[in-house]
Amino acid sequence: GQQLNQSPQSMFIQEGEDVSMNCTSSSIFNTWLWYKQDPGEGPVLLIALYKAGELTSNGRLTAQFGITRKDSFLNISASIPSDVGIYFCAGTYAGNNRKLIWGLGTSLAVNP
Amino acid sequence: DAGVTQSPTHLIKTRGQQVTLRCSPKSGHDTVSWYQQALGQGPQFIFQYYEEEERQRGNFPDRFSGHQFPNYSSELNVNALLLGDSALYLCASSPAGGIQETQYFGPGTRLLVL
């Protein structure tokens, strides 16, 4: 079945640094979503993207829907300790009946 | 405005038993999806309910069944539990008339099967 390739798998950065992670697919996607999950909690929706080329910000977070519709990236600027967690990309593509397909997550650690 | 709520938060069962998990969607949402998340993995789609009917289903056996009530709340039932069913079970809701892909998650129910 369809898989999302999310990278990097993990990151360890210093507080104040910028972070970038991305997701790629083999199919053209209609929707890209970025979630953050803290240990023992459900994923929290950060940013939703619905159109190719769309660039959306949510505070220090910025995400873009790739022009080819096969990729998306998430940037975090000036990271802080509470950014620690696992970031997931998810999306839907034509033909999978709008079911969300998920990446395997990027684990982010921030050193204060 | 309450978000998605799930109960119980934690549950311990033994192999062969049956379990029922509950979910109340966010206010104004009418679609509920259930996911299974194993440790270190992304969520895996189980099924989705809309208008009290199962609308979509992922690759899960018939031991996994569900129900949606007129107030849009939902239950996930798992029969004949296996050790491999141990996971975090997540419920997500989507807004009525909105974009169904935009799903909001509850905190999950952590199930341990011994």
pLDDT averaged per 10 residues in sequence order, chain B, 114 residues: 90 97 94 91 90 90 97 97 97 74 89 97
Mean pLDDT of chain B: 92
Å from A67 to nearest chain B CA?
A: 20
- Which pLDDT score, from 0 to 100, does residue B56 have? 85
Whether the per-residue pLDDT at A36 is higher than 90: the answer is yes
Which one of B41, B101, B110 has the shortest CB-CB distance to A100? Answer: B101
Amino acid type, A108: L
Give phi and psi for A82, each to the nearest 5. Answer: -75, -5
Which one of B45, B99, B108 has the shortest CB-CB distance to A42? Answer: B108
Cβ pair B105:A98 closer than 8 A: no
Of A59, A30, A54, A34, nearest to A44 by C-alpha is A34
Per-residue DSSP letter, A89: E
- Which pLDDT score, from 0 to 100, does residue A68 have? 94
Which one of A40, A98, A104 has the shortest CB-CB distance to B41? Answer: A104
Mean pLDDT of chain A: 92
- Which pLDDT score, from 0 to 100, does residue B76 have? 98
pLDDT bin (cut points 50, 70, 90) of residue A92 is confident
pLDDT digits (tens, 9 = 90+) for B71-86: 999 999 999 999 999 9
Å from B80 to nearest chain A CA?
A: 25
- Which pLDDT score, from 0 to 100, does residue B39 have? 86
The pLDDT > 70 percentage for chain A reads 95
Whether the per-residue pLDDT at A22 is higher than 70: the answer is yes
The residue ranking higher by pLDDT, B59 or A63, is A63
| E strand or H helix at B109 | strand B109-113
Strand partners for B22: B7, B75
Whether the per-residue pLDDT at A95 is higher than 80: the answer is no
Buried b / exposed e over A60-86, threshold 16 CB at 10 Å, is ebbbbbbeebbbbbbebeebeeebbbb
- Which pLDDT score, from 0 to 100, does residue B13 have? 97
